[in-house]
Amino acid sequence: MRSAIERFLEHLRAEVRASKHTLRAYRGDLTAFARSVQERRDAEPRLRDLSARNVRAHLAELHGNTAPTTVARKLSALRSFAEFLLRRGEIAENEVALVSSPKRRQALPVALPVEDIGDMIDQPQRPGPRGVRDRAVLEVLYGAGLRVSECSGLDLGDVEVGAGQGRVRVVRGKGGKERLVPLGERGTEALRAYLDVRAALVKPKSPPRALFLGDRGGRMGPRSIRGLVYRRCEETGARARVGPHGLRHSFATHLLESGADLRTIQSMLGHASLSTTQRYTHLSLGKLLDVYESAHPRAKKG
């Protein structure tokens, strides 16, 4: 088996052009499996030992001390190795393909407190049109719960900034699926202020329809928007360093804590499945206890 591992690594290096980091990871994963088999059998591992049974036994050894993502990576390396051997006719079947990947824990994004969001938006921004634009971007991200790609892709015709509250029209996905999201008075006011100064950011090659223009006149891209959010977290001392998705999650969480129902939040976020909305909108234990104590008839004595 060890010579086959070396042939596979050479294939990755010469034909796939895998990086040094990838080669090092594959070598470590495959060598660890070979060593595991050798320790159980007390004999040099052979290609026939690349079985579903041995792979499961190896993964079981890792259970409890290794993160699910790392276990999944090790299994992926073994699958690729077995597929390589199958193509070369060195094994009759790829039994590793029968082994299921471990379930990965989905880490929930952090929701900032309302006060931190307010500081990020309301505390002094950069002077001039760029600061006005930055404020409008933050207001739209949080006020409409947009994905960073959706915010970057907004055109001038996608926003309504009449008297009072405005609206944001989001178009994404196959078939031009769209949704309309309300924008509060503060967000509408910030957008209106930005539109008044947008011309100062226009360059000769600026896209005429793009809503948010970057410092060089092009459409403000997701990377620039992420940088803006991270910078404002640091400048205002937010309790966590979040990106645009953190603002989107904060939007949903704050709505839920204020009494909005999940179906409404699902519609505003543009989720196809309600289960996705539930994953993004978790309440803190303290909030749940507050609701329980104020609403449940048996929560208190007397």
- Kindly list the domain boundaries of the chain, sorted by start residue: 2-98, 114-292
Is residue 152 within 8 Å of residue 222, measured between CB atoms? Answer: yes
Task: Lowest mean pLDDT of 23-37, 159-173, 191-205, 215-229, name the range.
Answer: 159-173
Annotated catalytic residue 26: no
Is residue 43 within 8 Å of residue 36, measured between CB atoms? Answer: no
Alpha-carbon gap, residue 30 to 75, rounded angstroms: 9
Mean pLDDT of 230-244: 91
Q: Which residue reads 């976020």 in tokens? A: 269
Q: Which of 58, 248, 249, 254 is catalytic?
A: 248
Annotated catalytic residue 147: yes
Alpha-carbon gap, residue 128 to 200, rounded angstroms: 9
**Per-residue DSSP letters for 224-250?**
HHHHHHHHHHHHHT-SS---HHHHHHH
The one-letter code for the residue type at 145 is G
Q: Which of 40, 126, 245, 282 is catalytic?
A: 245
The one-letter code for the residue type at 89 is G
10: Cβ–Cβ under 8 A, 6 or more apart, which residues?
none
| The pair of three-digit structure tokens given for residue 106, joined into one six-digit string | 């989905």
Q: What percentage of the chain exceeds 70 in pLDDT?
A: 86
Alpha-carbon gap, residue 134 to 275, rounded angstroms: 32
Mean pLDDT of 273-289: 62
Query: Is it the case that residue 102 has pLDDT exceeding 80?
Result: no
Q: Which of 147, 169, 186, 279 is catalytic?
A: 147
Is residue 146 within 8 Å of residue 170, measured between CB atoms? Answer: yes
Characterise 176 by phi-psi region: left (phi > 0), alpha (psi -120 to 50), beta (else): left
Annotated catalytic residue 74: no
Mean pLDDT of 290-302: 63
Q: How does pLDDT run across 256-267, given as a tens digit for each residue? A: 878 777 788 888
Q: Is 169 helix (H, G, I), strand (E, B) or coil?
A: strand
What are the contacts of 101-105 at 24+ separation with CB within 8 A? 101/71, 101/72, 101/75, 101/76, 102/59, 102/68, 102/71, 102/72, 102/75, 103/68, 104/68, 104/69, 104/72, 105/68
Q: What is the pLDDT of residue 195?
A: 95
> Using 50, 70 and 90 to split pLDDT, how confident is the model at 302?
low
34: Cβ–Cβ under 8 A, 6 or more apart, which residues?
1, 2, 5, 45
Q: Which residue reads 């004999």 in tokens? A: 43
Q: Which of 26, 142, 194, 280 is catalytic?
A: 280
Q: What is the pLDDT of residue 223?
A: 95
| The pair of three-digit structure tokens given for residue 117, joined into one six-digit string | 């969001």
CATH architecture of 2-98: Orthogonal Bundle (1.10)
> Using 50, 70 and 90 to split pLDDT, how confident is the model at 133?
very high
Query: Is it the case that residue 90 has pLDDT exceeding 70?
Result: yes
Is residue 229 within 8 Å of residue 246, measured between CB atoms? Answer: yes
Annotated catalytic residue 174: yes
This prediction's pTM: 0.61
Query: Is it the case that residue 192 has pLDDT exceeding 50?
Result: yes
| The pair of three-digit structure tokens given for residue 47, joined into one six-digit string | 């290609």
Annotated catalytic residue 296: no
CATH architecture of 114-292: Orthogonal Bundle (1.10)
| The pair of three-digit structure tokens given for residue 86, joined into one six-digit string | 């199958």
Alpha-carbon gap, residue 52 to 229, rounded angstroms: 46
> Using 50, 70 and 90 to split pLDDT, how confident is the model at 300?
low
Q: Which residue reads 């049974």 in tokens? A: 53
Q: For the chain, how are helix, strand and coil distributed in percent, rounded to 5? A: 60, 5, 35
Q: Which of 135, 198, 232, 271 is catalytic?
A: 271
Q: Which of 20, 174, 298, 301 is catalytic?
A: 174
Is residue 211 within 8 Å of residue 159, measured between CB atoms? Answer: yes
Alpha-carbon gap, residue 147 to 259, rounded angstroms: 23
